[in-house]
Amino acid sequence: MSTAAILFYIIAAFILGTGILAVTTRKIFRSAIWLLFSLIGIAALYFWMEVEFIAAVQIIVYVGGIVVLIIFSIFLTQKSGSEMAKPLQGRTMISLLAVLFGLTLTSTLIFQNEFNSMSLRPFQLNVADIGTQMLSTTEHGYILPFEVVSILLLAAMIGAIVIAIKVKAADEKTLN
Amino acid sequence: MNEIPLTHILFVSTALFFIGMFGLFTRRNMITMLMSIELILNSVNINFVAFNKYLFPEKLDGIFFAIFIITIAAAEAAVAIAIIINLYRSHHSIDVEDAGEMKF
Amino acid sequence: MSIYSYAALIPLLPLAAFILLGLFGRKYFSGLSGIIGTTALLASTVISLLTAWQYFFVDGKVNGIYQQIIPMKYTWLQFTANVSIDMGIVLDPISVMMLVVVTFISLMVHIFSLGYMKGEERFATYYAFLGLFTFSMLGLVLSTNIFQIYMFWELVGVSSFLLIGYYYDKPSAVAASKKAFIVTRFADLGFLIGILILAFHAETLDFQTLIERLTSTQSTQFISITSASLLGVSMLTWGLTLIFIGGAGKSAMFPLHIWLPDAMEGPTPVSALIHAATMVVAGVYLVARLFPVFAIDGSALQVVTSVGAFSALLAAIIACTQTDIKRVLAYSTMSQIGFMMFALGVSKNGGEEGLGYMASMFHLFTHAFFKSLLFLGAGAVIHMVHSNEMKDMGGLKKFMPITHLTFLIACLAISGIPPFAGFFSKEEILMAAFHSNKIVFVVALLTSGLTAFYMFRLYFSIFWSKEAPIHENGHGEGTWSMKVPLIILGAFSLLAGFVPISQLVTSDGAALESSINIMFSIAPVGLALAGILLALYLYKTANEKPQQIAVSLGGFYKAAYRKFYMDELYLFITQKIIFNLIGKPAAWIDKNIVDGLMNMLANITAFISEMIKGLQSGKVQGYALYFFGGVCGLAILFIYLLK
């Protein structure tokens, strides 16, 4: 068993372990922190898979942006120290069963399928290639999705502002 | 790298996906539901990158998918937080059981 | 154009009067409705008389046999290739004779009612109903198809119901009309089943074809109907007996006679028309119409004879004890119809042996005249005295001469004293009975004697007996409109016996030589005279002798006075047995089981819907679970099951 393999299993265990903790813990702030660790673990996995660019993007956007956003919203809406409510009776059991069923189904499909690689060339990720292909207008270019995504981000910004905007008089009362 | 077959990585991402599903079904707090959704999105990202690396080494499509997914996930998280805050203002609680107006 | 093509107008003119007066009478015509009704009927009567003249005396005969003429026939409902309900008009001896009788008596009643019902608020409605009745009765006698006769049969029942219940604010009248309708309707159930049996085997509903098929012993239909049997009795007998039950209900034969005395609650002219001369003979007409088939099947004819003879005797006995003059006349009607029935019963089809048939029709003809005269006379008496009971009458011969004279003529006619009409027809009946069945002959003789007795008991009690209580109401005898019909009918009661019915109406259409046997007539006439003398002795002047006789007869008299407890028996059967044993359980089943089943279905639906409703809980995570379940299901479906 080479080092790479052992490393992979450690990273995988870390991801899944912190993931499980994130969805089961009763304290909300801890849940956010476990999520943070899980995302960092995924970045580590990307590093292990030698797609460094994606790992960097993951850390910057997910860890540095989204999790921080989540933590801010936790502070805005409730006391972070207290315990959250328990899930409904029976809900845990049913969800567990459903999820395990789904897991076995998908795993069966994965392990039974034969994944044949088309070519034997090793994979190399060149950031320059990403940039060129992103902006190219040829058949495999991603210029259109790129532009659309930028509009989407604009719309999301405006939308978030509009939805969350306060009507002045009412809000001062609620926040007090 | 070549010692770990593709299926192992896929299993990891599948397990993460279902962990996220479990969280989605079980959690009562809307923000924790959002966190579970982020886990799901990440599992899909791992899938795309793994497929690209193992099955289609000369193309970059999987990478691009991953990039776009990250982007859109960020936008979606922002809008979701805005909605949660708005809901908090009217119900004074972010317990998803309290937002049951669509009941028969 | 021959007069036959106008035959359709005969029933349609009274129908037009009904529609006109029924819809517009109350509002627009009121006073004139009597005139309108009478005019319509006068036209109808004229056409019938012309038709009768044409048929009987000009061209009805071919080779000495009266033919059946069908001026109009069209198919109304076609069931199969063979079976259809046709509407048509048939002219043959009995139907033409009935046309004359019905229209003429109806005309007399219309004229009489102009005076009798004057001042009634619902005058127009009365004439409308009379028009409806006349239309139905005429339609009945002109029917070519057994279903058509059933339809008009029911219509006649409805008209009778409407007219008996004319004074609808009297509870007794309402009860009587319901009773009449229910009893006749119940009998009509038998009629319908009989129709279905006969129609099924003979594969036709048309009278002519049905009679043809069921009287030729070689035809397939005859063989099929006589070979099928239930409880050892052939289907032919069952069918005919059931049809006779229908006829017995309408004609008030025992045991379905209970409605007729109560039907006297209606206005008296109505009793004269419906319950004396026309509707109650519908049963006799039906048997006469199907007579060839009855003649082939001896057992059905025996039923007819026994029922007829028994009813005649029973009614005569009860009539001797009643004190309400209309009820005496009602029982008298029942008795006379019994005569007509058993006369048909002892007859055979064709030639000399068809004497009973001819006698029955003759008696129908003459009976119509003197019975309606008796009722109209009673009406005049009631109009003057304002009471139906014999004890309120007496010594009226001073005040009502014309009524007195005509009533006397009618009583002599019904008793069978020559040369009045009843003598000839009764003679023929007694002769037919003598030649066929001696027991029936003896019963008939006895009944004739009783008839004379109770009729003269009635006569003497009304017009002689004691001095009447004071009549200062100044009503007098009634207007001319009440006197003229009495006079006309009186004349006919005198002369109708001389009409040569035996030449005109016989079982096979050929003329029958009939003669009066003087030796034979001595017994009946003598018995009748004895009855009259007995009545004279007991009732001419008021005395105690009738009371003493009644007391000495004790229980038998009381039973006869109470109509042999038939009404009580019927009431017991319906209330205790039918209501409790059949009605109540049926109602329970309907309410709890049938309704319960429906309610249960509704409850199940509501319950299921409540359960399904729970799926829409408004909880997002529930929806997510269902979503996930659906996706898994589809995945399994597409990956594993639909490879």
| Residues A143-167: tens digit of each pLDDT | 999 999 999 999 999 999 998 887 7
B22/B98: higher pLDDT: B22
pLDDT at B57: 86
pLDDT at C476: 62
State chain A's mean pLDDT as an integer: 87
At C1, is the pLDDT very low, low, confident or very high (cuts 50, 70, 90)? Answer: low
Contact flag A102-B21 (C-beta cutoff 8 Å): yes
How far apart CA C600 and CA C77 sit, in angstroms, is 42
Q: Is some CB atom of chain C closer than 8 A to the CB atom of B29?
A: no
> Per residue in C257-302, pLDDT tens?
899 998 988 899 998 998 777 888 899 999 999 988 888 888 888 8
> Per residue in C512-570, pLDDT tens?
777 777 777 888 888 888 888 888 888 877 777 777 777 777 778 888 888 888 888 88
Mean pLDDT of B28-38: 92
What is the DSSP code string of B53-71?
HHH-TT--HHHHHHHHHHH
The answer on pLDDT for A1 being more than 80 is no
> Per residue in C175-191, pLDDT tens?
999 999 999 999 999 99
Lowest pLDDT segment from B8-17, C75-84, C328-337: C75-84
State chain B's mean pLDDT as an integer: 90
Contact flag B26-C613 (C-beta cutoff 8 Å): no
At C474, is the pLDDT very low, low, confident or very high (cuts 50, 70, 90)? Answer: low
User: C interface toward A at CB cutoff 8 Å?
Assistant: 621, 625, 628-629, 632, 635-636, 639
Which of B19, B25, B36 is most worth mutating to test chain C (most C CB atoms within 10 A of its CB)? Answer: B25
Q: Using a CB-CB distance cutoff of 8 angstroms, which residues of chain C are in contact with residue A109?
A: 639
Q: Which residue has the tokens 């593709």?
A: B6
Mean pLDDT of C467-493: 74
Instruction: Count CB atoms within 10 A of the CB of residue A42.
Output: 30
Amino acid sitting at position A158: I
User: Treating both helix axes as pointing N-terminal to C-terminal, what angle do C438-463 and C298-319 enclose, rounded to 10 degrees?
Assistant: 30
Contact flag C618-B104 (C-beta cutoff 8 Å): yes
Q: How many angstroms separate the Cα of C473 from the Cα of each of C384, C385, C393, C469?
A: 8, 9, 14, 12
The answer on pLDDT for C350 being more than 80 is no
Asked if residues C464 and C397 have their Cβ atoms less than 8 Å apart, the reply is: yes
Torsion of CA A150, A152, A154, A158, to 10 degrees: -170
Interface of B with A in 36-95 (CB under 8 A): 36, 38-39, 42, 45-46, 49-50, 52-61, 63-64, 66-68, 70-79, 81-86, 88-89, 92, 94-95
Asked if residues C29 and C146 have their Cβ atoms less than 8 Å apart, the reply is: no
The answer on pLDDT for C437 being more than 90 is no
State chain C's mean pLDDT as an integer: 86
User: Treating both helix axes as pointing N-terminal to C-terminal, what angle do C123-141 and C9-24 enclose, rounded to 10 degrees?
Assistant: 160
pLDDT at A7: 93
Q: Could you check whether the bond before residue C269 is cis, i.e. omega within 30 degrees of 0?
A: no
How far apart CA C338 and CA A159 sit, in angstroms, is 104
Prediction ipTM score: 0.92
Whether the model clears a pTM of 0.80, i.e. scores above it, the answer is no
At B101, is the pLDDT very low, low, confident or very high (cuts 50, 70, 90)? Answer: confident
Closest CA to C496 of C582, C585, C559, C425: C425
Contact flag B72-A149 (C-beta cutoff 8 Å): yes
The answer on pLDDT for A81 being more than 70 is no
User: Treating both helix axes as pointing N-terminal to C-terminal, what angle do C123-141 and C282-289 enclose, rounded to 10 degrees?
Assistant: 20
The answer on pLDDT for B37 being more than 90 is yes
> Per residue in C375-401, pLDDT tens?
999 988 888 888 888 877 877 887 888
Tokens of C215: 């009287």
- What percent of chain C has a predicted confidence (pLDDT) above 70? 97
Lowest pLDDT segment from A118-122, C11-15, C335-339: A118-122
Q: Using a CB-CB distance cutoff of 8 angstroms, which residues of chain A are in contact with residue C636?
A: 105
The answer on pLDDT for A119 being more than 70 is no
Q: Using a CB-CB distance cutoff of 8 angstroms, which residues of chain A are in contact with residue C638?
A: none
What is the DSSP code string of C23-77?
HHIIIIIGGGHHHHHHHHHHHHHHHHHHHHIIIIIIISEETTEEPPEEEEEEEEE
pLDDT at C512: 72
pLDDT at C451: 92
